[in-house]
Amino acid sequence: MSDQIVMTRRMRLEPLAPRHGPELESFARLWEVARYTATIPHPYPSGGGTAYAEAVAYDWRHSGDRNWAVIDKATGRVVGTGGLDQSLDRRSMEVGYMFAPWVWGKGYATEVSRALVDHAFRMLGADEVTAYASVQNRASCHVLTRAGLRRIGNAWYYAPPRGHVVTAEAYRLTRREWSS
């Protein structure tokens, strides 16, 4: 694993770039994908996938936030995104992901989140990995548990595109827990 490319058994993660934009948009624009997220707009603006990828590329250069396009090795198609956002003190990384509905239920999110947790500790020197998922998003809460994170309580955050506060389950895995 390099600092930028992350490989899993079925997927290759490469830094999200404008060339991934149209494929990303094909699923980010769907309500079932945006529904429980705090940031994906709905309706999704035309060209929004490429604009988002440009912003991600900027963040990658100028902040500690990283977001990957998830490529299905078998088809070469972009089937999702996965990210690690760094806290201001650089100790903590927040993992996040989304996948196209046509690949849901195949264990892809579990496989990718495990790889990103590993990457955060092994390659990026994180002291802890955190994650948040809407309490209504049972599949995502389940994925986080399967990735080895431990539920530590609830959190509340404002989701601008939804126009309301989201009640989320908060998860954490410390470096000590990960290495034991």
Q: How far apart are CA 56 and CA 54, in angstroms?
A: 5
Torsion of CA 130, 136, 137, 141, to 10 degrees: 40
Q: How far apart are CA 19 and CA 81, in angstroms?
A: 14
Q: Taking the complex as a whole, how short is the minimal distance between the CB of residue 152 and ligand COA, in angstroms? A: 15
Cβ proximity to ligand COA, 106 vs 122, nearer residue: 106
Cβ proximity to ligand COA, 28 vs 126, nearer residue: 28
Residues whose CB is less than 8 angstroms from the CB of residue 31 and which lie 6 or more positions away in sequence, other chains included: 42
Q: Taking the complex as a whole, how short is the minimal distance between the CB of residue 47 and ligand COA, in angstroms? A: 21
Cβ proximity to ligand COA, 78 vs 133, nearer residue: 133
94, 132 contact by CB (below 8 A): yes
Q: Taking the complex as a whole, how short is the minimal distance between the CB of residue 34 and ligand COA, in angstroms? A: 8
Cβ proximity to ligand COA, 32 vs 89, nearer residue: 32
Q: Taking the complex as a whole, how short is the minimal distance between the CB of residue 134 and ligand COA, in angstroms? A: 7
Neighbours of 24 (CB within 10 A): 25
Cβ proximity to ligand COA, 11 vs 61, nearer residue: 11
Q: Taking the complex as a whole, how short is the minimal distance between the CB of residue 69 and ligand COA, in angstroms? A: 14
SS3 track for 20-84 = HHHHHHHHHCCHHHHCCCCCCCCCCCCCHHHHHHHHHHHHHHHCCCEEEEEEECCCCCEEEEEEE
Q: How far apart are CA 100 and CA 148, in angstroms?
A: 23
Cβ proximity to ligand COA, 57 vs 170, nearer residue: 170
Which residues form the interface with ligand COA (CB under 6 A)? 33, 36-37, 97-99, 104-110, 133, 137-140, 142-143
Q: Taking the complex as a whole, how short is the minimal distance between the CB of residue 139 and ligand COA, in angstroms? A: 3
